[in-house]
Amino acid sequence: MSKNKPQTELSETIRLNKLIAECGLASRRHADRMIEEGQVIVNGKKVYELGIKVNPNKDRIVINGHPLKRSAMKLYVVFNKPKGVLTTMEDPLERPTIADYLDKIPGRVFPVGRLDWDSEGLLLLTNDGDFANKVMHPKSEVTKTYLVKLDGKPEKKHIDKLLKGVSILGGKVAAKHVERLKRPEGSDQYDWYKIVITEGKNRQIRQMFEKIGFDVMKLQRVAIGQLKLGSLPRGEVAFVNEEILNKIFLPDSPDEVKIKKTLRPKQASTKRSPPKSKSKSKSKRTFKF
């Protein structure tokens, strides 16, 4: 940029990935990937340079054929993702996605992190890219708490190994806390465990238990920091305010998360997710977290 340009114009420039995040289109990391893949055009030319700065008041920015527009309202939503739903907004194979449940949200949001196809539970969505980046950044060490049903009974040596750390695809990871949960009355022979982690690698929980010789039969995320899934039913969404959002950055206390009646294994939990056509009847509600 020319040294002769006035200071007022210099102060109006912003990193392209930060602008994309502020517009609610993606997190900064995702924005960087979009730039690298040539999806972003600035003033008629594709840009590939990470760290490039633009002037949102003067530069014309187009992403995948659509002009970039600033979002007028920040949205923060929690969703209880059912099993058998992709954590993505669209799928070329037309499988169920989280977008099928978000038609009542007054604006475009994207998921902060992800849950696998065969996992369920708490998912956070927003159009605030800076907030999403803060939640996902390793330095934040945001805790994620899961309830896991295993096909066996780990011994103390197995649990100690998880706490010490195991190597999986993507690097070495360790659990912050692992405990066996009291088996509910009338439940089957399989044991449930609570595990708390801070990383978010692909299929991390499943890989960790596979590393010590056990398969995960069911996986449900019940908390992000101290933001709890609570009574939010499967397939439902709820808006959260700033006070509740702050709970995300408070580490989960091992003594605070207890298995609740609504989280215990029961016949209803095996139902398939509602058909896409019925998801639109879902209404927004407010739940305690």
**Which residues, 6+ apart, have CB-to-CB distance to 264 below 8 Å?**
184, 187
In the CATH hierarchy, which fold is given to the domain comprising 7-67? Answer: 3.10.290
- Select the CATH number that applies to the domain covering 76-270 from these four: 3.30.465.10, 3.30.2350.10, 1.10.443.10, 2.60.40.10: 3.30.2350.10
* Ordered per-residue pLDDT tens for the chain, 289 residues: 444 544 444 448 889 998 888 787 777 888 898 999 999 999 999 999 988 999 988 899 999 888 887 766 789 999 999 999 999 988 889 999 999 999 888 888 889 999 999 999 999 999 888 899 899 999 999 999 999 999 999 999 999 999 999 999 989 999 999 999 976 665 567 889 999 999 989 999 999 999 999 999 999 999 999 999 999 999 999 999 888 899 999 998 665 444 444 444 443 333 444 444 444 434 344 444 5
Q: Return the structure tokens found at 161.
A: 């190994």
* pLDDT at residue number 265: 43
How far apart are alpha carbons 266 and 183 in whole angstroms?
12
For the entire predicted model, the pTM comes to: 0.69
Is 116 part of the annotated catalytic residue set?
Answer: yes
- Side-chain-facing half-sphere of 88: CA atoms under 13 Å: 12
Catalytic residue, from 59, 91, 100, 116: name it. 116
* pLDDT at residue number 184: 62
For the stretch 258-280, pLDDT in tens is 444 444 444 333 344 444 444 44
Mean pLDDT, the chain, whole residue set: 83
What are the Cα distances from residue 165, in Å, to 36, 45, 140, 207, 254? 33, 47, 19, 12, 18
Q: Return the structure tokens found at 221.
A: 């995320």
**Which residues, 6+ apart, have CB-to-CB distance to 56 below 8 Å?**
12, 14, 19, 70
Q: What is the domain partition of the chain in residue ranges?
A: 7-67, 76-270
Sheet of 45-46: strands edge to edge? 45-46, 40-42, 61-63, 66-67
Q: Are 51 and 14 in contact (CB under 8 A)?
A: no
